[in-house]
Structure 1
Amino acid sequence: MNEAPSHVTDLAEQWAEARAERDHATADALRGEIEAEGWLVHDTANGFELTPRPPFEVWPTVGSVPEKGGGANGRAASAGPETTNPSETADRSGVADRSTAADPSGATDHSETTDRSETTDRSEATDRSKVADRDTSADPDRVAEAADPGNRPERLGDQEAGRVAETQAAPAQKPEGSELVGRSDEPVGHPERMVSSQLLWDASLSVSRLDESITPPVGAAEAEVAPPTVTVGLVVDGWPDDLRECVRALVARTEVKILALDLGDVDGAGAVLNELVKEFPRRVEAWHVAETPHWRGGTAGWGESRTKLLKLDTADVHVVMETSTILDGDAITPLVEELKDDVTGAGWKGVNPREDGHEWVDAEPGEVRGLLGHLFAVRRDAALTAGGFPADARYYRNADLEFSLTLPGTLVALGKDLPVHQERHRGYHDVDPAYRDRESRRTYDRVLGLLRGQ
């Protein structure tokens, strides 16, 4: 990584001091100066870090990413140059562990039953043609032809022929709706015009009935239920090669969109995500923030990042996926097809708690209590109603269980027959073990509370 010039480092030190003093206005101004010099500054556990400014827009924090009016690839639809919201860039040092609760005796977090990282694709919404209103205006030649029962008896029929004969013999009167065929307001004194109009009126009804016998009713196609829209949400936390393989498999084997949130361009993963956006502009949407993941020494939490993706999404179904999860076929459609009746979530791997709640075990395909975050689909409205993902979860492990227990309805897992596999789960194996255990216990305390409450 390039080393920042000394004057940029001086600005960053002033920025860190201003944030420590909660002088947000000064911190924002200094951040702007640093960016103008071609650098980005963001918090780390040990202070700050400077990285070269990439060729895409970067928001300062996860919280600062706009949830309404957003446009593709990290830019608000109506936004001009990026501005930093002081309230969003407030000092996040409070992200430090607020819980010192010891691990409950015998409590075991569900271990690497399945690893997790998020990959979400906001699949391109398929345009659906709308059925145009059927033109019911009668062709003049057809009307005239149909008005003569002798010429077209098969079209007019005996009943219509009788009605025409009755009209010719009946006293002149103005039928309802006659203004639609241009009748005179004074039929008296104009019997020929009245009779002609009556013939046209009855013939147009006949033509209309004929059309209805061979034309599907208006709205018949619209009555068909459109398939739900689907987005895969990915949290990008480094490991660019994993990201590239995950996204390309999604694009090749499904039609979903991919919505990705890049946390801090760790290891150049944000730059790779930007390349994928250019390679698949209609399939991949990206947002970039300067914050790095909490599990990699930064301040961006897993639950906060996941909820941000959920709120940025506009699809009916939101898919939680990790970049270590690779599709071998269309594993998304089977999950989406399970979301009917009272089923609100369907995943690849499911787990159930033992009676004491201190251990979770792999579940057979079918109804389960918990879905693991390697890959699962959820009705987006149900997830939003549940409040999104757990805000206090700074790390993924056990947070998927916490989220599962807050969802309404039924959860199901499909198991090993789903065409998908997992590569090395770096979010588990490549994270500091002491950090992993501490944050896992912290989240599992809340899981136990949910189980007791249920």
Structure 2
Amino acid sequence: MKKNVWPTVESIPVSAVTDDRPPGQLKPARMQEIAGATGTGRDTAGGEAVRATGVGTAGTRRRTGARGNPAAEFGFSGDPGQHGDPGDDMLHAQRVWDGTLATNRMDDLGVNTERQRMETKDVTASVSLLVDGWPGDVRACVESVLAHTACTVVALDLGNLDGAGEVLDQLADREPDRVRVWHVAESPHWRGGTATWGVARAKLLRLDTAEVHVLMDTSLVLEGDALTPLVAAVWEGAVAAGWQGRKPPGVDQRDSDDWMEAGPGKVPALTGDLMAVRRSAALSALPEDARYGAGADLELSLRLPGEKVVPRTRLPVRRAREHPVDDRYRVEEAHRNHGRVLAMLEPS
């Protein structure tokens, strides 16, 4: 590689950055405690729409020809004036249902994403990557970020495994204003080296200067603008927003490493494979002593003060393939991180 290679992650110098100033564009973080995952009532499995019940919709059947109340077939009340007793609980429920369906249809049309894009156009956001080999996946991941977002990519190459660092150099040469790369001779701990997840992630946080820092795994590929909804959620007041939410196992399953899926909406924790976070909050929450990311991302998420959310909009993201980890390190460290996370959940 023609670029400078630092001996270790910790040896990379970080220029002075003032992080105690108020965020330039973000709204204040909402400091709400999450007592558990909350659902939204939305059909997120892509199944058949729920038949509406309530004002103006009871017993609705599909008709042919002219329809007296076509809105009712889509779950709307069909009453633009929303007439009726304001204190009627069913009427209130119908209004909420109508609004939710309208929002969901706007999501499907991309209207909300475009609105969010305009609202957050002045928010600075960077996508941070820990590169540990898999050059083909690295290229696909970075190119998808460049194609579908306006974010800067900040990448830390660990050991140029399989030539992945050289791929980053090629992308940086092509897009010098959007791709910033640091190389170290250390290979990652989870592949038998000495560079740990916590130290490497902390270095990326300090090298970055954006308000919103997006943790992304190089095994993921964006198939559309998946980042605007995450950045918008942070801009609105969440401390972090992610692709996938998690909630802890039940009381009788506390020894299990398998956290359950949570969201959309407010969630107790987020996975670190695609998570946007207020950088100023992440700087003090990141577990820098974590050697391996499994479980450490949940610990980071739990340490963040404020709301964590999964957007209601389906994000256009896919995983190219799993990146296996050396079992000598994966099992030991995953259990260690899991134990730390469970300790955080125990009542004091």
Q: Distance between the aligned counterparts of 1:235 and 1:354, measured in 2?
A: 29
The count of residues paired between Structure 1 and Structure 2 equals: 243
Q: Distance between the aligned counterparts of 2:191 and 2:273, measured in 1?
A: 19
Q: Is the 8 A contact 2:135 2:167 kept in 1?
A: yes
Q: Distance between the aligned counterparts of 1:420 and 1:325, measured in 2?
A: 7
Structure 1 position 413 matched with structure 2 position 307? no
Q: CA deviation at 1:358?
A: 3.9
Q: CA deviation at 1:453?
A: 4.8
**Which one of the candidate residues 377, 382, 405 is aligned to 2:281?**
382
2:288 aligned counterpart, secondary structure = coil
Alignment of 1:137-152 (within 5 A): none
Q: Distance between the aligned counterparts of 1:443 and 1:363, measured in 2?
A: 20
Q: Distance between the aligned counterparts of 1:236 and 1:435, measured in 2?
A: 18
Structure 1 position 369 matched with structure 2 position 268? yes
2:329 aligned counterpart, secondary structure = helix
Q: Distance between the aligned counterparts of 1:64 and 1:415, measured in 2?
A: 41
Q: Distance between the aligned counterparts of 2:120 and 2:4, measured in 1?
A: 38
Q: Distance between the aligned counterparts of 1:225 and 1:325, measured in 2?
A: 23
Q: Which structure 1 segments of 5+ residues have no match?
A: 1-53, 71-223
2:149 corresponds to which residue? 254
Alignment of 1:3-402 (within 5 A): 54-68=1-15, 227-340=122-235, 342-356=237-251, 357-359=254-256, 360-386=259-285, 389-402=286-299
1:417 aligned counterpart, secondary structure = coil
**1:160-208 per-position Cα deviation (integer Å, ceiling 9, x unaligned):** xxxxxxxxxxxxxxxxxxxxxxxxxxxxxxxxxxxxxxxxxxxxxxxxx
Q: Is the 8 A contact 1:349 1:415 kept in 2?
A: no
Q: Is the 8 A contact 1:346 1:411 kept in 2?
A: yes
**Which one of the candidate residues 421, 433, 437 is aligned to 2:331?**
437
Residues 1:384 and 1:264: Cα distance change in structure 2 (over 3 Å): same
Q: Is the 8 A contact 1:348 1:415 kept in 2?
A: no
Q: CA deviation at 1:303?
A: 1.0
Cα RMSD (Å): 1.9
Q: Is the 8 A contact 1:350 1:362 kept in 2?
A: yes
1:449 corresponds to which residue? 343
Q: Distance between the aligned counterparts of 1:258 and 1:287, measured in 2?
A: 11
Q: CA deviation at 1:339?
A: 1.2
Q: Is the 8 A contact 1:367 1:411 kept in 2?
A: yes
**1:122-155 per-position Cα deviation (integer Å, ceiling 9, x unaligned):** xxxxxxxxxxxxxxxxxxxxxxxxxxxxxxxxxx
Q: Is the 8 A contact 2:263 2:309 kept in 1?
A: no
Q: Distance between the aligned counterparts of 1:289 and 1:241, measured in 2?
A: 20
Q: Distance between the aligned counterparts of 1:452 and 1:341, measured in 2?
A: 30
Give the letter aligned to residue 323 of structure 1: T
Q: Distance between the aligned counterparts of 2:298 and 2:3, measured in 1?
A: 35
Q: Distance between the aligned counterparts of 1:226 and 1:250, measured in 2?
A: 16
1:354 aligned counterpart, secondary structure = coil
Q: CA deviation at 1:381?
A: 1.0
1:443 aligned counterpart, secondary structure = helix
Give the letter aligned to residue 333 of structure 2: E
Give the letter aligned to residue 384 of structure 1: L
Q: Structure with the greater relative contact order (CA < 8 A, sep ≥ 6): 1 or 2?
A: 2
Which of the pair has more CA radius of gyration? 1
Q: Is the 8 A contact 1:242 1:324 kept in 2?
A: yes
Q: CA deviation at 1:374?
A: 1.4
Q: CA deviation at 1:340?
A: 4.1
